Structure 1
C-alpha cells in the first residue's frame, strides 16, 4: 500500500465502530508519535521507547478530546468534596484550572492546565511531564509553579487558579504553616500575590 492508501485506511479506522473510541481518537497522535520517532532515528541517531511514545500519544489524545469536546463546564467536586459547577471568574480575570497526575514517588508526573475567560472560552492549555515527586502535594505545588511561570510568560496579570486539591491553596495562602514547602512558594512570591486560589 502507498502512503496515501495507508493514511486513508487509518482515517477510515477513526470512524469504525468496531474499534474502541479511545483507540480511534488516539490514531492521529500515534501517527505523529511514529513520525517523531522516525525523525529521532534519522536526524538525532537515537531512539526512544515506542511504548513510551504510544502511551504519551494516548494520553495527549485523551487530554485534547477532554478540552476540545467539552461543550459546557461540567459538574465536578469542589475543594471540600461538594458537587459544584465550574465557576467563572470576574470580567477581565482569567481562570486557570491545573492538575498534576501523581501516582507514586518513583514515576514521572504529568501536569496540565487550562485557561478560560469569564465566558468559559478556552484561551490556552498545556501539558508537560515533571520528574518524580515524593508525594501528591509536592507534585501539585510544582505544577502550580510551572503554571504560574507559563501564565507570566503569556502575559496574564489577573489570574484565578482552580485546583482540585485543597492542600495546594492551604500551602500557598499561609506559607508559615507549611515550612517544608516554603522553598516552592518563596521562589514565586511576587507572582503568587496576584493569584487567588479556588476550587473548580
Structure 2
C-alpha cells in the first residue's frame, strides 16, 4: 500500500485541491448524518451557533493570532525538516489566488469544526474529539513537532468550544489560522519566485 506522500506526489495541483474539497465534503456529510443521532432536536444543534459577532472576532481572532504567531516562531527557530509536511501545504497554497484561499479555508474551517467540535465533541467530549482531529492529519504522524503542534491546536480549539459553547468562535479561529498560514505560504512563494 502506498504512503500518503506517494499518493499526493502523483496528483496534479488541481487534483490535490479537488481532493481537499472532496474530503471536506465528506466531513460535512458525516457531520450532518452523525448529528442526526447526537442531537435529539434540531434546536440543540442550532443553539451551538450564536451570532455574537464582536465576541467571535475578539475571542476567536485572539486565539488564532496566538496560534499563527507560535507557528511562525517555530518556522523560524526549528530546522526546516521538522516543520515539513511533505510540501502539501505549499502545493495547495503557493499558486492559489487570495479569493480561492479564502474559499478553501472557509470550507475547511466549517467542515472540520462542524464534525469535530459541534458533533464529535458534543457526543464524546473534548479529549476524544481533539485526538481524532489530530489523528486525521495523518501526514503529521511521523513528524513529532508537527503532530504535537496540531494536537495542541486541536485541544485549544476544543477548549474554546467547551468554554464558549459557540461553534462559530472555533470556525472563525480555524478560518483565520488557515487563511493566515495559507497567505504566508503564498507570499513566501511569490518572494522566492521574484528572486529566481
TM-score (norm 1): 0.24
Q: Which has the larger helix fraction?
A: 2
Query: Which protein shows a greater Rg?
Result: 1
